[in-house]
Amino acid sequence: GRYSLNRDFNFSFGRQLTILGYESDEQTGLHSVSNAYYLGDKASGKQTRRNYKDGIRANFNNGKFGVTLGLHDGYWANDDFNGDNIALDIAASLMIIPGLEARLGYAHEEVDGGASSSEISQFNGWLAYNPGDLTLALEFDNYEISDDEYWSMMLHANYQFVNWMSASIRYSHEDYEKTGSDHEADRFSFALLFALTQNFDLNFEYSTTSVDSSSFGDYDEFYVEGLLSF
């Protein structure tokens, strides 16, 4: 639900998407088939960005500047507002010039697990430039998970050649400093996206991931995806 005080300021509540991260949570909003990050998402078996959580959020946006502040029942762990584990997030965005947007955000959660209680925090920042057919993006993430640290960065480019075809190239690097072991990963992705009709897209992607870790191996992946929207 949402209640608007005026055209620039509103409160939203209920099941909502977390705000940190450049990439869309919906496949129809991506410039690729897969997401950029391997260690933070695929290898861990969890999605560390763009999750849906219960909470309330205050939102302000006047078209050039925006800020949002949220209170949630969790950010990475679901805790059902039990009083011990509540997560906060805040993000500010600025339209520097038409087509050039920057966003900075921070989230923090305390996870009450008795003897294994921990704190998780995330800092996220991205810069995107979209003058027309070209989209360029740069993203940086830094996590502190108890005694572990994880940081990542992404470079992304997409070009719309014609209204029915575009191509994307993306690079991401991740560094996970975990107690007892360290992991690093580099991932390259190349995608061709086709809008065959107004409601049907056909996407192809090749991704290769090089992992410097004793626990995970290297991966070469090829994707074919059909998207029906209505």
What local confidence, expressed as pLDDT, does residue 217 receive? 77
What local confidence, expressed as pLDDT, does residue 50 receive? 83
**What DSSP line would sit under 25-82, residue for residue?**
SSGGG-SSSS-S-IIIIIITTS--SS-EEEEEEEEEE-SSEEEEEEEES-SSS--TT-
* Average pLDDT per consecutive 10 residues, the chain (230 residues; last block may be shorter): 95 92 91 88 73 92 95 73 75 95 93 66 95 96 85 97 97 86 90 95 96 81 94
- Using CA atoms, how far residue 62 sits from 4, 6, 66, in Å, is 13, 11, 7
**Count of CA atoms in the C-beta half-sphere (13 A) of 158:** 23
- Using CA atoms, how far residue 183 sits from 25, 142, 186, in Å, is 25, 15, 11
Under 8 Å between Cβ of 174 and 152: yes
pLDDT in tens, 67-126: 999 998 877 765 555 556 688 999 999 999 999 999 999 999 887 665 556 788 999 999
| pTM greater than the 0.85 cutoff | yes
